[in-house]
Structure 1
Amino acid sequence: MKLLMFDTTYFCYKTFSKTVETVEAFDREESITDSLVIFVNVENEDEVQKDKVVRKAVNNIRWLAKKADRNKVVLHSFGHLSESKSSIEFAEDILNTIKEKLTAKGLETSMTPFGYLLEFKIHVKGESLAKVWKSI
């Protein structure tokens, strides 16, 4: 799994086109302020170590949320962080699992629409910890 984590003052997205046939068709536009935006690439090798990968992802995100003093997290499936990609079903499942665990830990967690290309605007803070990349 690869995580590209941003501490943002502003993140806005709009669905552009559906890329996964099995997901529900809809249009959505949303703006979120003062949150961590986490771009997640779920890799093929994650499928044999789901629990370990989920635990490490949750711990890394919680660490940054504490350092950045953020309570809101947005997860975004982003398959461009690695050449390795898991199955679509597994990626959606693991993102939902991470979301549930972060929520259970007290973080207000949402997810961009899975299976869609998005238009987005993002304002990332300038501090060093506002841009963190992790390979799990």
Structure 2
Amino acid sequence: TRFYYKTGDKVLEMADENVRSTGYDNALVALIHAEKEDEDDSQGVEKKLVKNLKWAAKKNNTNVVILHSFAHLSDSKAAPEFTKKLFNSTEKRMKNAEYETFQTPFGYFLDLDLKAPGYSMARVFKNF
């Protein structure tokens, strides 16, 4: 999978000002949405997220994982602070498990360039 991005509009005041555009090849791109009810079980959600990321990375023969927030696509949204904390703790756990893990700039809309191969495991949806 090829995934490149360029920062667009800043949409959260808490967003980091020092962001850059970059890209990755042969990476698992996780488009993640945290819902309001996830805040009630943050440890359980984090554990399931990490488990699913490791599974999908192995299925796609990659050790590179990109965490990208897609919160704007739903009516039920977790607080941005919760989501950012979830991303940070997930990134830390993935790195501790020896996965190269990165986050796209949180709090920005991004211009995305995504190319995924044409096999079933290249596109996986998980809901938990």
TM-score by length of 1: 0.90
1:106 paired residue number: 98
| Structure 1 stretches lacking a partner, 5+ long | 1-7
| Pairing 1:24–2:24 present | no
More strand by share: 1
The 5-angstrom pairing of residues 123-134 of structure 1 reads 123-134=115-126
Query: What is the CA–CA distance in structure 2 between the aligned matches of 1:103 and 1:81, rounded to whole Å?
Result: 28
Query: What is the CA–CA distance in structure 2 between the aligned matches of 1:48 and 1:30, rounded to whole Å?
Result: 34
Equivalent residues, number: 128
Cα RMSD (Å) of the superposition? 1.1
CA change 1:24–1:89 in 2 (3 A) is same
More helix by share: 2
Q: 2:64 aligns with which of 62, 68, 72?
A: 72
- 3-state SS of 1:17 partner: strand
The 5-angstrom pairing of residues 1-136 of structure 1 reads 8=1, 10-136=2-128
Deviations 1:57-110 (A, max 9, x none): 100110111111110000001114532101110011001111111111110000
Report the alpha carbon displacement of residue 27 of structure 1 after superposing the two structures with TM: 4.8
Verify the 8 A CA contact 1:14 1:27 in the aligned structure 2: no
Query: What is the CA–CA distance in structure 1 between the aligned matches of 2:16 and 2:67, rounded to whole Å?
Result: 18
Moved over 6 A (4+): none
